[in-house]
Chain A
Amino acid sequence: MSNIGSYEERLKNFDWSIAEKELGYEEGDKLNIGWYCSDRICEMGKKDKIALYWEGHSGKERKFTFDEIRIDSNKIGAFLRSLGIKAEDRVCLFMDKIPELYIGFLGVLKIGAIAQPLFSAFGDESLHVRLDNAKTTAILTQRKHVGKVRRLLAKSPYLKHIIIVDHDGKKPLKDREISFDMENYEAPKDFEIHQTTAESPSVLHYTSGTTGQPKGVKHVHYSIISQYLTAKWVLDLQPDDIYWCTADPGWVTGTSYGIIGPWSQGITQCVLDVGFSAENWYKFIEKNQVTVWYSAPTAIRSLMKAGEKVVQKFDLTSLRHLASVGEPLNAEAVVWSEKVYGHPFLDTYWQTETGSMMLTNFPGMKIKPGSMGKPFPGITATVVDTKTFEPITEPSKIGLIAFKPGWPAMMRTYWENEETYKSKFKNGWYLPGDRAYIDQDGYFWFVGRDDDVINTGGHLVSPFEVESALLEHEAVAESAVVSKPDEVNMEVVKAFVTIKPGYEINDMLELKIMNFIRKKLSPLAMPQEIEYVDNLPKTRSGKIMRRLLHAKEWGEEIGDTSTLEDDE
């Protein structure tokens, strides 16, 4: 029997107090995610249960019980306090998927500070704009990434502490750097968890939009209510499960369902911190006897590409439930996974701003491959007309996905950007920026983004950010960035550029520009293709018409070109 039981029954009289009761929370109580994910589990008699199995490069392994993550997160909290870090200060976690990242996240929350996880593959500029926006006080990082932090120190006066979690003493620490050794740091005897409440800020995740700089999505400790219940009902986590969430906590899935969801239930999870290869992944599942696997369409399509033969080399019979997030999961992947693993990947839809799952396919529900599923109980979802923002009642008519605000994990604002936050609401609905339709049975079907943001491998890339960075390359005069179709990543970044006089167009220049963006922003933002053009299509007012370039890449109708100044 699945945790959710009957979806229809759950819809009746649903109330988020179900989660509050299970977590022993009452309105007005103190609420701290760090405590719920470690101390509370120990108090429930599970202190010796394994919380984390971790495997890194070259087969290196570490494991932690719930009591150990309780103590180690206290150590991190105590250490941060000793540096003078206080409640609501922003503390960035800029690490690979190592245990210090997962446990550090809880440690930051325990002292009431705001955890700001950032993807460790971010380049200099991406890191800087996010730290600068949040005025981050401290950053926890690894030796291998500290070079990026050092390069932005001169323009980051607010950043007071660079905490290196794996300093080996071979080279001296530099300005503002300090070493922290989680294993050998003395555990504090009386560690006091900060008395945060439901609306205290907890996590700041950054997300990209069409225009402007990345936005800091502010979440609060109360988010645990919906993260707990969605993990329980959708991922169907049960006491003896071994759970594997492949997402990086630099992104929201990695914290909502790679830390908070499983650990608030006392579930054992495992983490593999090595690059992708089908063989490595299957070996990891077999070795750890993974039962519940939460992954992403890009990874699933890569596994499909690797073929069925490699699957047969491993015993994957421990798997009992699979789910997916990040971008729409194509029907072929659902059908393929059922055939090959004996279980289909069930798609879930949500985003950084929603904090928890919104539309999902539930265990036991009839699955329509390719569909996003149905709203989680307690979520009022519809599609609205693009002009009036009124709900569309006609089945299969395309509109904008819309949610009635008010679920626990909903973002509270964009960091110091209330205006943009407010712009996300129309006619009383929160609009995540995606188009979809609802079929006659109430299933949602994804159609596409409603803006120019590129979703590559489940991560959002702002065309504006890439265009701006391209203009900083000495050879680039103008740039326009759009998505282009990709078999594995759904879409990837493509740049159109005009070159300044005196520069020769050749393959080496293309490679130099690609690497320039990779290092400045991130590998995700690096154009996978650069097309040189004499002119970029513009409106009469001089605005670059991405729409036209996008249509060309996707083989779509170009539409009204009457305002074009020059159509190539």
Chain B
Amino acid sequence: MEDIRDIVLEYVIEEYLEDEDEELTYNTPLISGGIVDSFSMVSLKRFLETKYKISIPDEKASPEAFDTVNSITELVKEYVK
């Protein structure tokens, strides 16, 4: 399996990063850093569910769980068989 972290990182850069000069790492704050807002989290969650054929319960999709590529990766791993 491709590294989930890299796929998520690439997707976030492509879809959400507006400032092309900004460097995004696995630990860059996405929600608290203003890169992904609470409304956009819905589309990011949908991407993860579609890509990995999983279902993430809404109560697990908290701003904290979506705040970095690393934390998102940990969340996805919980549901990927």
Q: Do A and B bind each other?
A: yes
**Hey, which bits of chain A sit against chain B, CB under 8 A?**
57-58, 96, 121, 143-145, 147-148, 170-171, 273-277, 279-280, 302, 306, 456-457, 507-508, 510-511, 514-515, 518, 523-524, 526, 528
Known: A277-B64, A507-B49. Is A144-B43 also a contact (CB below 8 A)?
no
Smallest CB separation, A248 vs chain B (Å): 11
Q: Which residue of A lies closest to B40 (CB)?
A: A523
Whether the pair A528, B31 counts as a contact (CB closer than 8 A) is: no
- A515 with B43, Cβ < 8 A, contacts A57-B29, A273-B34, A523-B37 known: yes
Partner of B34, one of A275, A457, A508: A275
B34-A274 in contact (CB<8A): yes
Q: List 22 A-B pairs, Cβ < 8 Å.
A: A57-B33, A143-B19, A143-B21, A144-B19, A145-B18, A147-B19, A147-B20, A273-B34, A275-B30, A275-B32, A275-B36, A276-B38, A276-B63, A457-B39, A507-B50, A510-B46, A511-B43, A514-B42, A518-B39, A518-B40, A526-B43, A528-B39
5 closest A-B pairs (Cβ-Cβ)?
Answer: A144-B19, A523-B39, A507-B50, A275-B31, A523-B40
Cα-based distance from A267 to B64 in the complex (angstroms): 33
Q: List B residues 36-80 near A (Cβ within 8 Å).
A: 36-40, 42-43, 46-47, 49-50, 62-64, 67
A511 touches B50 (CB 8 A): yes
- Inter-chain CA distance A457–B20, complex, in Å, is 29
Q: B18 touching A147 by the CB < 8 A rule? A: yes
CB < 8 Å neighbour of B39 from A148, A507, A508, A524: A524
CB of A274 within 8 A of CB of B43, answer: no
User: Which residues of chain B come closer than 8 Å to A523, judged between CB atoms?
Assistant: 37, 39-40
Decide if B43 touches A277 in the complex (CB within 8 Å): no
A147 → chain B closest CB, angstroms = 6
Give the distance to chain A from B72, nearest Cβ to Cβ, in Å.
14
**Min distance, Cβ A137 to any Cβ of chain B, angstroms:** 24
Q: Closest residue of chain B to A278, judged by CB?
A: B63
Given the known inter-chain contacts A507-B46, A510-B46, A511-B43, please indicate yes or no for A275 contacting B19, CB distance below 8 A: no
B15 within 8 A of partner (CB)? yes
* Interface residue? B22 (CB, 8 A): yes
Residues of the A chain whose Cβ atoms lie less than 8 Å from the Cβ of B63: 275-277
Instruction: Decide if the interface of chain B is mainly helix, strand, loop or mixed.
Output: loop
What total of A-B pairs shows CB separation below 8 Å? 77
B43 with A514: CB separation less than 8 A: yes
Least distance between A157 CB and chain B CB atoms (Å): 24
The reply to whether A275 and B64 form a contact with Cβ atoms under 8 Å apart is no
Contact B33 A144 (CB under 8 A): no
Nearest residue (CB) in B for A487 is B58
Q: Which residue of A lies closest to B29 (CB)?
A: A57
Bound complex: CA A121 to CA B34 (Å): 10
Does B21 lie within 8 Å of A171, measured CB to CB? yes
Q: In the complex, what's the smallest C-beta–C-beta distance from B45 to chain A, in angstroms? A: 10
Among B19, B21, B32, B49, which residue has its beta carbon within 8 angstroms of that of A274?
B32
**Extra contacts besides A273-B34, A514-B42 (6): CB < 8 Å:** A147-B18, A147-B20, A274-B32, A508-B50, A514-B43, A523-B40
* Among candidates B15, B20, B49, residue contacting A515 with C-beta atoms closer than 8 Å: B15
Contacts of B30 in A (CB 8 A): 275
Among A148, A171, A274, A306, which residue has its beta carbon within 8 angstroms of that of B33? A274
Q: Give the CA-CA distance A518 to B40 in the complex, in Å.
A: 8
List, in ascending order, chain A residues with CB within 8 A of B20's CB: 147
Q: CB-CB < 8 A to B50: which residues of A?
A: 507-508, 511
Q: Within the complex, what minimum Cβ distance (angstroms) separates B64 from chain A?
A: 6
Select from chain B the residue with minimum beta-carbon distance to A144.
B19
Q: Contact check, A526 vs B40: say whether CB atoms are below 8 A apart.
A: yes
Q: Whose C-beta in chain A lies nearest to the C-beta of B42?
A: A528
Q: Is the CB of A144 within 8 A of B22?
A: yes
Compute how far the CA of A526 lies from the CA of B63 in the bound complex, rounded to whole angstroms: 18
Q: Tell me the minimal C-beta distance from A67 to chain B in angstroms.
A: 29
Instruction: Identify which of B18, B29, B31, B47 gathers the most chain A CB atoms within 10 Å of its CB.
Output: B18
Contact of A280 among B22, B32, B36, B46 (CB under 8 A): B32
Output the least CB separation between A466 and chain B (Å): 13
A147-B18, A170-B21, A526-B40 known; A277-B46 Cβ under 8 A: no
Give, as a whole number of angstroms, the nearest-CB distance from A333 to chain B: 17
Interface centre among A273, A275, A277 (most CB of B within 10 A): A275
| Complex partner residue of B47 from A145, A148, A511, A524, CB under 8 angstroms | A511
Which of chain B's residues 4-39 have a Cβ closer than 8 Å to chain A? 15, 18-22, 29-34, 36-39
